[in-house]
Structure 1
Amino acid sequence: MFPVPKPVLTPNTYAYESEPMVKPTGFREYDARWLFQKEINLMGVQALGLGLGTLMHEMGVRPEIATGHDFRGYSSSIKYALVSGLMAAGIKVHDIGLALSPMAYFAQFALDVPAVAMVTASHNDNGWTGVKMGVNRPLTFGPDEMTRLKDIVLGAKFDMRGGGAYHFVENFPEVYIKDLTDRPKLSRKLKVVVACGNGTAGAFAPRVIAALGAEVIPLDCELDHSFPKYNPNPEDMAMLHAMRDAVLEHKADLALGFDGDGDRCGVVDNTGEEIFADKMGVLLARDLAKLHPGATFVVDVKSTGLFATDPELIKLGVKADYWKTGHSYMKRRVNETGALVGFEKSGHYFFNTPIGRGYDDGLVSAIAVLDMLDRNPAKSLAELREGLPKTWSSPTMSPHCADEAKYGIVDAVVKHYQDLAAKGAPVTGQKIRDLVTVNGVRVTCEDGSWGLVRASSNKPELVVVVESPVSEARMREMFAEVDGVLRTHPEVGEYNQKI
């Protein structure tokens, strides 16, 4: 028998070293995230491996899994604790070593393995750990699987059949890099800043971009798990500003920035302008729709309204399908609808066949951006951006809110705007044109200005985004509106960044 995990244990005690600790809130909507040593210990990770192996048997999945870990000082030890639990549950583990999350997803295809468990905290600050999991490639777990996994782990309902095995896959990164680069080189000469924030992508991204024929200017590509300059997150303005400065210094054509586990890509153009990932998605949709007229694009609710209103996309007959934020939700929607691409404001892009395999890979996204420039040799990235209808958009802004409180607060905000809409009451002096409540609430006014409030799926935070096609002042009005509603809830704390 394996002990029932405890929600809290005191570090540096006998109990901490002899019992599993797993805080229940670490089981998120579509992956798992904990503060290592404060919310989960190594025995707790072992329990997670046992639970995942048990769930695989329960679901009738062939008992083999691919695993890897990101570049944090503790990720390797966490992975081996996970592996020990998986093996105790009778699972054969294929370990690809230090890896990007999309490299682990690719391993499911390259090694013909049904399941994946990637140890990563993605873009979360140091101290966090987590696991991205799936048993049906290219999909990852959603709420149903995560709820069942939580029930198994916290109740210690383990199938400890033994008989597992371990296989280390040598030189797997070379297989992944060959898959990305075994193609014609770019015909256009491009100078590219490749920014990795000292995260895992630094070991791979510069090589891939250079192999395509671009001149690479590396920026913070040395692996350093202390993240000495900024967190590797291409949604954070600190990283985007570093990319901007490097573009201007080196007179580069663009900068490509990758998050901590390499499944997202951020872009800065040749003038140093940060192109938020949803606007970059509109540019890619314009380019790809010429090759695939009438295509469907899945778009998360944080993203710009241009996917539905851009005259070029309308002319090309594309369909915009606004859906829930979150890599698992988006991946599943792209797979179910047969959409060409799914675009998420965070920078997760999901390219379906014939471009990709349906999972999010920052390097596949980067290659799509370079191919777009290759197909438009007479225009700089800034000129392509300037061809979009003007909107004023905020970055993703996240006020702190405890995991135990955030969903209840979002429910209250949703009800607030539903009540206003039912009464015909104005928001910022205008009628409500549309309410989207598939993921939190996105309230759109008559002039197309909108604001979104939702719960973060992987951190103790809320998420706020605002946009206006009218003016910066209207964008700020929308922010003041939704922030005013949030300030009626004292549990909502300070923002990580604000307009």
Structure 2
Amino acid sequence: MTFPSPLPRLVSNTYAYETTPLVKPAGFREYDARWLFGEELNLMGAQALGMGLGTLIHELGVAPDLVTGHDFRSYSASIKIALVQGLMAAGVRVRDIGLAVSPMAYFAQFELDCACVAMVTASHNENGWTGVKMGCERPMTFGPKEMSRLKEITLAGAFDLRGGGAYEFVANFPERYLASLLDRPKLSRRIKVVAACGNGTAGAFAPRALEALGCEVVPLDAELDHTFPRYNPNPEDLKMLHAMRDAVLEHGADVALGFDGDGDRCGVVDDEGEEIFADKVGVMLARDLSSIHADAQFVVDVKSTGLYMTDPVLVANGARTDYWKTGHSYIKRRVNELGALVGFEKSGHFFFNRPIGLGYDDGLVAAFAVCDMLDRNPGKRLSDLRRALPKTWSSPTMSPHCADEAKYGVVAAVTSAIEAMASGGERLAGEGIRDVVTTNGVRVTLQDGTWGLVRASSNKPELVVVVESPVSEQRMRDIFVALDALLRTHPEVGAYNQTI
């Protein structure tokens, strides 16, 4: 299988489209692969991707045993089968767990003793997108080095087609996953939970898992529907959070727990309908867990609140926090490198390590942890725990459109502009600049503690903007206006998906 050069514009329902692999190069992202199915990837392209992945597995010297599964999108099963054909041609032994959430595939790596994983999912992306989450070193997933090499192999058609592959369908695997999750004591008191699934794949598993834990469950948009009729299953999006809020207030629930399209993230709304961003949920969980586990080590992403370093309870408990690059692959790897107890991402990816989890991101493990926290605080509601945190004003994740080919250049230019302001003693949003961190994009902190982040999205043609202030809502808005003004000097930057 070879790719023509340069790659022509392939049109569906033609001979060329059905006989030529289509794989848009930009779909190979920092740690995931994401394409618009049909426009940027066809089934022959998925087969080529499988050949490329199989070739890379052999190149890395890893046992060629791989778990695969797929989410509920109408086209995911066909993409998975094409991927499997390519993997088998490259000599990979495939174990197929069928319809699944991503954490189920990660768990299967341990349960079925497979080194590798390739989960076909576009997570929370809009209908029409597809993708693959891959890894060859459990519980980690690929980072930029592996993704760059996979891209090289696949686009060059440099496949090692040694044959000898095999395929096995593993029946009823979800039951094994759920049994493992529930191999623990039930809650000591009944907690009323809204289980919000956004019509994504988690709807098949999350409500019954929470019920088996001992919760009284109110399902919300738990019917699987790949058209996502109400909103995308993304617990960072305000539409989903507002729906969770409304359901909590309507049913008098203790908490709403929202899951993204492939079930590896969890969003939280408290009993008063307050939408708690995931980084603040992480601070609450870190308080709870650091009171149980001495000298607890945590990892958080650069989009997250500054409270992890300043919260008096965490300081008193001796908790240590490491800020790291945003992205599930980066945080997962850092958690395992440091032996951290948990990693928290503002997006809602939570990585619970032993003895709580196995080091990968699992929305249900995170949901269980929130329920356990409530169970350990019988005299307090979630709103009480939220109000006990030091007050800060923070934004949701805001994402202006920016083409994949342009976004990294824009971030580099904004970073240079902010660094020049800092070195020149200039003020931003009316304040002096205290520090500039360029671990992942640019995070600028002002003298009053107000901060803002600009980075390139790792899985969509977008930028990412987050702001927070410990002073006031107005200061949060001030720094957003200042950062947006810098972005607006670049015509490549488009409209936001949501703003404050």
Identical counterparts, % of pairs:
73
Q: What is the CA–CA distance in structure 1 between the aligned matches of 2:435 and 2:218, rounded to whole Å? A: 44
Native 8 Å contact 2:3 2:21 kept in 1? yes
Q: In the TM superposition, what whole-angstrom CA distance separates every residue of 1:33-68 from its partner, at most 9, and x where no partner exists?
A: 000000010000000000000000001111110000
Superposition deviation, residue 7 in structure 1: 6.4
Per the alignment, residue 462 of structure 2 pairs with 461
Contact 1:90 1:165 in 2 (8 A): yes
Deviation at residue 424 of structure 1 after TM alignment: 1.6
For residue 421 of structure 1, report the CA deviation from its aligned partner.
Answer: 1.2
Amino acid corresponding to residue 179 of structure 1 in structure 2: S
What's the offset of the Cα at 1:4? 5.3
Contact 2:182 2:213 in 1 (8 A): yes
Q: Do 1:7 and 1:23's aligned partners in 2 also have CA atoms closer than 8 Å?
A: no
Deviation, structure 1 residue 362 = 0.2
In the alignment, which residue of structure 2 is the partner of 1:371?
A: 372
Q: Which residue is equivalent to 2:253?
A: 252
Q: 2:275 — aligned with what? A: 274
- State the Cα distance separating 1:26 from its structure 2 match: 0.2
CA distance in 2, matches of 1:283, 1:213: 22
Question: Match for 2:253: what amino acid?
Answer: A
The secondary structure found in structure 1 opposite 2:431 is coil
Equivalent position amino acid for 1:493 in 2: G
Partner SS state of residue 457, structure 1: coil
SS at match of 1:93: strand
CA–CA separation in structure 2 for the residues paired with 1:185 and 1:498: 40
Structure 1: gaps of 5 or more residues: none
User: Do the aligned partners of 1:243 and 1:255 also contact (CA within 8 Å) in 2?
Assistant: yes
Q: Tell me what 1:387 maps to.
A: 388
Q: Counterpart in 1 of 2:323?
A: 322
Match of 2:429 in 1: 428
What is aligned with 2:190?
189
Query: Deviations 1:389-432 (Å, cap 9, x if unpaired)?
Result: 00000000000000000000000011111111111211112111
Match of 1:92 in 2: 93
Give the letter for the 1:204 counterpart: F
Counterpart-to-counterpart distance in 1, 2:467 and 2:416:
19
- CA deviation after TM superposition for structure 1 residue 3, in Å: 4.7
Number of the residue aligned with 1:198: 199
Distance apart, 1:469 and its partner CA: 0.4
* Equivalent position SS for 1:291: coil
Cα distance in 2, alignment partners of residues 441 and 157 from structure 1: 37
Paired AA for residue 475 in structure 1: M
Please list every run of at least 4 consecutive aligned residues from structure 1 whose deviation after the TM superposition is greater than 2 angstroms. 1-8
Instruction: Supply the AA of the counterpart residue of 2:138.
Output: R
Q: In the TM superposition, what are the counterparts of 1:227-246 in structure 2 within 5 Å? A: 227-246=228-247
User: Which residue of structure 2 lines up, in the alignment, with residue 150 of structure 1?
Assistant: 151
Structure 2 residue runs without a partner (length 5+): none
2:453 maps to 1:452: yes
Q: 1:312 corresponds to which letter in structure 2?
A: V
SS at the partner of 1:466? strand
Amino acid at match of 1:456: S
Number of residues of Structure 1 aligned to a counterpart in Structure 2 = 499
Is the contact between residue 70 and residue 98 of structure 2 (CA under 8 Å) also seen in structure 1? Answer: yes
Q: Aligned letter for 2:222? A: C
Please tell me whether the aligned partners of residues 443 and 450 of structure 1 are also in contact (alpha carbons under 8 angstroms): yes
Q: Is the 8 A contact 2:3 2:156 kept in 1?
A: no
Give 1:172's aligned residue: 173
Match of 1:398 in 2: 399
Shift of 1:335: 0.6
Aligned equivalent of 1:53 = 54
CA distance in structure 1 between the aligned counterparts of 2:460 and 2:383, rounded to whole angstroms: 33
Quote how far apart the aligned CAs of 1:319 are: 1.2
Aligned to 1:103: 104
| Distance in structure 2 (CA, Å) of the matches to 1:424 and 1:343 | 33
Q: State the 1:8 CA deviation.
A: 3.6
Q: Which whole-Å deviations, capped at 9, do the CAs of 1:65-100 have from their partners, x for residues lacking one?
A: 000000101000000000000000011100000000
Deviations 1:119-163 (A, max 9, x none): 000000001000000000000000000000000000000001111
- Kindly indicate whether the alpha-carbon contact (under 8 Å) linking 1:251 and 1:270 is maintained by their aligned counterparts in 2: yes
CA distance in 2, matches of 1:64, 1:254: 40
Compared with structure 1, are the counterparts of its residues 4 and 360 closer, same or farther at alpha carbon in structure 2 (3 Å cutoff)?
A: farther
Alpha-carbon distance between aligned partners in 1 of 2:323 and 2:346, rounded to the nearest angstrom: 12
* Counterpart secondary structure, 2:291: helix
Contact 2:3 2:155 in 1 (8 A): no
Give 3-state SS (helix, strand or coil) of 1:118's partner.
Answer: strand
SS in 2 for 1:488: coil
SS of 1:283's equivalent?
A: helix
Task: Work out whether residues 328 and 349 of structure 2, in 8 Å CA contact, stay in contact via their aligned partners in 1.
Answer: yes
Aligned-residue offset at 1:293: 2.2
Matched AA of 2:385: L
Question: What is the DSSP-based 3-state SS (H/G/I as helix, E as strand, rest coil) of the residue aligned with 1:12?
Answer: coil
Equivalent residue letter for 1:208:
A
Alpha-carbon RMSD across the aligned residues, in angstroms, is 0.9
Return the letter of the residue paired with 2:242. H
User: For residue 78 of structure 2, what is the amino acid of its counterpart?
Assistant: S
Amino acid at match of 1:213: G
